[in-house]
Chain A
């Protein structure tokens, strides 16, 4: 398969009044054409910042370094003009909250056609036809009657469909979905996940799904990155991650999820403690304070990525003990 995106040693830092924070710390991975990658981690693990860095959408106090190749081109730090021609046409991002990412003052039609006029040079009528087609494709009921409405007239599920329609309008090579269903109810979530599966089947778009919900990853993704405190702790195929997790954090996360399909008696397994403060990370492994298998080396030396296969890695000292 062709490699669409490769990220090498990405590092993203933010200047804050309390000092510099590394939100993303040495993250490397790649993504093939047509592949679906799940990125999991808790809040503050840097999972969103990785992709905001790639898209050039960091907040003003953020800086990033490393190498990001997209379709053979180095895109990290490209000027805004060049990035703008990639964003929206070759790569697109869907955000968690569909209300705040749609402009409340513009009709849906205006917001959808803008992209097409700007990137593909269509005229208004062509753009409108294409937008209607996209709304049809994402399963918005009665698009012709709704396209001239403002976002407030749509329900949460419909807004997310509009966002997805907007993202796939120009048939991007890379679609990044940041918690696409977190704000939605489960029955609507099921509809949106079905839609994402269908779109992938039909267009072979590479997709990244950033989520804290391991259930969403299990149903949608081919491969998984697990992040903790800005670092990659484990990568592998979806079956490797769910059935043979090797990092104690991945194991803990999977155990900690209450499951609909199982009755567990007594207490839930938990991960003790809290995620670390990124401003005061201990030397060595970031997970050491919560890890049930911690040993002295974890406190002194940061574990590197141990490659267990071409696309399987774990960052844990236990790998050398095993």
Chain B
């Protein structure tokens, strides 16, 4: 792998939740519970999982937008976990994020030009207005917006164009890592492809790394080099995209992949599904041992008593399951 940009070690984000009543006890919601991974320069890491699995919290905790409870976030050699806003400032230029709802994440009272210029004004106050304008126009061009749109307000743009503004704002500082939190979920199919292509082209051109958070496994397959599967705040499996999609080792990954409908009637109707019963357990009282065991077709006594440790499964693949060996060639 190329040079490591980001190393996350045993990261935990717990939220205190008070139960009802004036003397309600406080319990810990373990949104992210002991997650470790690396991201290399220019790499895209896909984060997948169902709602409540902690993927968005994880993305934000890496950027210190949510303070982690424990663990390390080593960014370019320095541990940034728990740094306050002031101490984070020098790192912000290289760590940027784009959000799911393109319109919601833009200030309706600012023009597209001002939105894209804001990070420059904050982080590079020495720039002259002409320089700022020049860089804004460059960024607009890079994301496929026309310079004449610079004075328009967000409501005058379509959803896809708003997402382009969000991307321009994120790349204008030339970040090394861009966290993409469900960036195309709110867009129509025909527009999704445009935004995915744009992100891939920008990545190639600028060499930035992506952490791509999505519940859409098809898009993640298309765009990621490696994929991390999360369930109730823990990593179930992590591996190279093609290995993970072709030969998933964790029963949850198998179930997730088999649940995605494929737009091909003959194929779709002849597929065998790994059906999962029931719902996600409450993250306030996760199951003992393996958090997936309540829905796992392979669960036995051991899964209830011992928490599986994530272990290497060859060629950079990692899996957290007591039973993965019995399925390794399946």
Contact = CB atoms under 8 A, between A and B. Distances in A.
Interface of A: 42-43, 141, 155, 157-158, 185-191, 193-194, 212-219, 238-239, 242-243, 252-254, 256-261, 263-264, 267-272, 274-275, 290
B24 interface: no
Nearest to B161: A274
A81 B215 CA distance: 43
A213 B197 CA distance: 20
A259 B263 contact: yes
Given A260-B221, A270-B193, A219 B268 contact: yes
Contacts of A43: 188
Contact of A190 (B194, B196, B269, B275): B275
Contacts of B267: 218, 261
Contacts of B197: 267-268, 270
Interface in B208-261: 215-219, 221-222, 242, 245, 255-261
Contacts of B158: 274
B206 interface: no
Given A141-B278, A155-B279, A190-B275, A261 B190 contact: no
Contacts of A272: 194
B50 A258 contact: no
Interface string B36-79: 00000000000000110000000000000000000000000000
A256 B193 contact: yes
Given A185-B215, A219-B261, A259-B218, A42 B256 contact: no
Size category of the B interface is 35 or more
B140 to A, nearest CB: 17
Contact of B51 (A185, A213, A239): A185
Contacts, number: 130
Nearest to B263: A214
A42 B188 contact: yes
B51 A218 contact: no
B202 interface: no
Given A215-B263, A219-B265, A219-B268, A271 B190 contact: yes
Interface in B178-197: 188-194, 196-197
Given A189-B261, A194-B275, A216-B261, 9 more contacts: A155-B280, A187-B259, A190-B276, A193-B261, A213-B261, A256-B189, A258-B219, A258-B222, A268-B193
27 contacts: A155-B279, A157-B279, A158-B279, A186-B50, A186-B217, A187-B256, A191-B275, A193-B261, A214-B189, A215-B260, A218-B263, A219-B265, A239-B265, A242-B264, A243-B265, A257-B218, A258-B222, A259-B262, A260-B217, A260-B262, A267-B197, A267-B201, A268-B193, A269-B193, A270-B193, A275-B188, A275-B190
B275 A264 contact: no
Nearest to B216: A258
A219 B260 CA distance: 11
